[in-house]
Structure 1
């Protein structure tokens, strides 16, 4: 396993990013991993490393580059304190709007395009929390580039905002996997039904499920981390990508 830190010339500055490559001889399929709300930290790197170990070149970009350099946060501290949580959202999450991140995406795709160890063809995207929403938006914004998209505990997937991913259902050509959380106000039963209806009407190839876990269950450092359901996520994600990208 190898990891390389790079600097990506994105839409509004230089975005730090990491490229994880498997052992052995490529080329391998390319995947972009979109982080969750707490931002770049060891738990997200562990996820990129594990995914790469299954035979993927994984690009892990820092979506918060617009907010300047920062030290990794502890979600158990930041997301259990209201004042710290709101300050984090304002400084980091607010600037990473769908429009902003989609403007960065050509640069992310270009990184994979330019690597000899990345196999030609469509790429995979997986995202978590805010990254799960952005992953679906990316699949609808760049339908010719993304062949498989997965969203885990994403919020706002079928709400009333103009950037709701369900509005792009007719543009998505990728195979889709969505896993929501129980009792999640940001992706409740009504949004789930709305998303399914939009994808079904569009004739998309999709699966939408709800896991018996709380919003944010996958990363190992989250207060609601659920080891059993996080492992289920891996046992689902890898065959999902393998079936499309390999």
Structure 2
């Protein structure tokens, strides 16, 4: 596990690269952070993908030209609009993986909260082989998801941020487009139930009441679904590396 620098169009991004044990090649996963950015929790999640056999990288989308607060605002805006530097940065992270001889060339995308929104914006682009958005806000043009890559989505029912029918709408559009998918809503979970941010006890209590808290049983179930889905859709076909070399 190491800090790396990802070449990008307008900046050089910090990234956290997690490498599986043993010898590759492995499929890749780009892990997209929530609004808190590059945190210990993001590294934990990236490490877990590596422990499960994926060459995983988490780029810091808040790196960029100008003051840090401007980068944060621009990233959040991009999440809603589907445009902006953040998308180029995420594709740069993908290219970083596919340029690595340890990668099969098949790459998934996993994101949480804001990061999940980026996943759904990029899923129809044909560049990722599977996407795992967790508690995402749907893009404005939701019909584009009829052309999405396979999607495994996870939502909490006790969510103060995401619309209560988001999981159902996502399920409907993916079904209409005959996109392979696994969408699940957890009745007792709230927002950010897979993110284990270290918080003081009083703040954890408030977060739980507000429906924004880690919940281990639902998080573990979601992890098992994501890893099983990625195993099905990111498995090497045997020709991926050869095809990548010809690009």
- TM bin (shorter chain): 0.7 to 0.9
1:110-125 correspondence runs (5 A): 110-120=95-105, 122-125=106-109
Shift of 1:227: 1.6
Shift of 1:94: 2.3
Given candidates 215, 230, 241, the residue that maps to 1:226 is: 215
Shift of 1:69: 8.5
> Mind listing any 5+ residue stretches in structure 1 that lack a counterpart?
71-89, 158-162
Deviations 1:192-215 (A, max 9, x none): 333222222222111221122110
Given candidates 141, 144, 148, the residue that maps to 2:130 is: 148
Q: TM-score, normalised by structure 1?
A: 0.80
Aligned to 1:83: none
Query: Given that residues 133 and 165 in structure 1 are in contact (C-alpha distance below 8 angstroms), is that contact kept between their aligned partners in structure 2?
Result: no
Moved more, 221-230 or 57-66: 221-230
Query: Given that residues 10 and 65 in structure 2 are in contact (C-alpha distance below 8 angstroms), is that contact kept between their aligned partners in structure 1?
Result: no
Aligned to 2:14: 16
Moved more, 186-195 or 36-45: 186-195
Query: Given that residues 136 and 165 in structure 1 are in contact (C-alpha distance below 8 angstroms), is that contact kept between their aligned partners in structure 2?
Result: no
Given candidates 135, 149, 154, the residue that maps to 2:119 is: 135
Change (3 A) 1:69 1:58: farther
Tell me whether 1:103 sits opposite 2:83 in the alignment.
no
> Mind listing any 5+ residue stretches in structure 2 that lack a counterpart?
199-203, 205-212, 236-247
Tell me whether 1:210 sits opposite 2:175 in the alignment.
no
CA distance in 2: counterparts of 1:204 and 1:23, whole angstroms = 32
1:69-80 correspondence runs (5 A): none
Q: CA RMSD in A?
A: 2.1
CA distance in 1: counterparts of 2:65 and 2:6, whole angstroms = 15
CA distance in 1: counterparts of 2:130 and 2:218, whole angstroms = 21
Shift of 1:191: 3.0
CA distance in 1: counterparts of 2:143 and 2:11, whole angstroms = 29
Tell me whether 1:197 sits opposite 2:182 in the alignment.
no
Deviations 1:167-205 (A, max 9, x none): 321321x21111111132443333333322222222211
CA distance in 2: counterparts of 1:231 and 1:208, whole angstroms = 15
Given candidates 149, 153, 159, the residue that maps to 1:178 is: 153
Q: TM-score, normalised by structure 2?
A: 0.79
Shift of 1:91: 4.9
